[in-house]
Structure 1
Amino acid sequence: MEQIRRLAEWEVVEVAGDNGAVRYEVASKSRSNQRGPVTCTLDGALMVNVACHCQMLECDGIPCAHIFTILRSLNLNIIPPCCMSARWTMHVKSTFPSDGGCNTQEYSEQMERYRGLRNRGNLVLFKASRTAGGDREGVAFL
């Protein structure tokens, strides 16, 4: 939310085409020495890639105020998929399959049993890997 609030501090001051990409120069409204490029690849009206000089999107997985400034200048009402990490969407892959029928207490107990089994299994597999034929013996054991 903070980055959306900060978008009022920035404006697009220059737009240039660059080998199929569009390079926007964003500048601070209050500090004239603060500016930087945001490069976007567009497919028609769809933004397919974006990179900002601050690299907040790459580092934190959150679009920065500079990117939101570009979205505002393009009159986009939605955040494009290239600005969202898959882990924050409904399309993220679940770590474990859900049986849908257990409560939190049962799930916690199940996960505790799973961790114990996993740790013992890892130890068996590690010991089996020490010998040439141990991998087959380890798999047969499991």
Structure 2
Amino acid sequence: MAISVQPSVEETNKLVADSMAMVTQISNQLSAAVSDGTKPLPDDYWTLRAKQTLLTVQITGWLTDGIQFDLDSAGQAVDTINESTQALENALQMTNKIAMDVQIVSSFVDLAVAVSTGQPQGIISAGETFISLVGKSTA
């Protein structure tokens, strides 16, 4: 399901679910990396945990406040969100490793923050960066 310029509750919930898939994968991958307690923490462990927390905060905001876009370029911003969501779904089906890539996680968090602001140009820029990084990672 794609979201529209004025997302319905159902569309918002779908975006939340897709974004929570990233939160879950980050958690699973970080837990697996330290599961036996004998390995040192991965270098980016705390950075990824912080990004996971920031993403969760953005998602919570979407649930409590909804998602609204400034109408200028909103159509293109929504298209970028939909493309980014599809890229995320495809990438997570191919590999869980993207949840341990700080650049990809950071770019997805940047997209979530941009969605929360509702500013189309920020959404487009962040989404294009995310799509590019995922494309390079899964190529």
Q: TM-score range by the shorter chain?
A: under 0.3
Rg larger for: 1
Report which of the two has the higher share of strand.
1
| TM-score in terms of structure 2 length | 0.23
Larger RCO: Structure 1 or Structure 2 (Cα < 8 Å, ≥ 6 residues apart)?
2
